[in-house]
Amino acid sequence: MAKLGPEFRGKLSPGAAEQNQSSLESYRKAIKQGAKLKVEILGSPDCPVSWAQNGKLYSIDGVPPLPLPGCDRSPCCGCCYAPVVQE
């Protein structure tokens, strides 16, 4: 795999923004169909910015955009969204 350069520091890797948006749209569609979902941010184990998100759940309209403010992970942000089913 090619290593990404410093121009990707604090940014999403190529294609990740589209994938994250697609995920959120899928979650939004499921919620409209009656699913009780919240969204969490899955981060990288070596990223203190994403550690601060551990255990936080967001509404579909309240989830922060990625990369998170303050992200300086190199070569690029590795965070993504994940659905959490609520009972």
Tens digits of residue pLDDT in 45-83 = 778 888 888 889 999 999 998 888 888 775 577 788 999
Note whether residue 80 is domain-resident: yes
| The pLDDT of residue 15 | 80
Q: Give Cα 77 to chain centroid, integer Å.
A: 9
Containing domain of residue 48, as a range?
6-85
Name the residue with higher pLDDT: 2 or 83.
83
Q: Does 25 have pLDDT greater than 90? A: yes
Classify residue 40 by burial, with Cβ atoms within 10 Å: 0-12, 13-18, 19+: middle
**Radius of gyration (Cα) for the chain, nearest Å?**
14
Residue whose pair of structure tokens reads 């981060």 in the numeric block? 43
Percent of the chain with pLDDT over 90: 40
Answer whether 31's CB lies under 8 Å from 37's CB: yes
Query: Whose CA is closest to 70, among 17, 20, 10?
Result: 10
Assigned token pair, 84:
């959490």
Q: Is residue 66 part of a domain?
A: yes
How many domains does the chain fold into? 1
| Residue at 1 is within a domain | no
Any domain includes 52: yes
Return the H-helix or E-strand segment holding 4. Answer: none
Flag whether 21 is in a domain.
Answer: yes
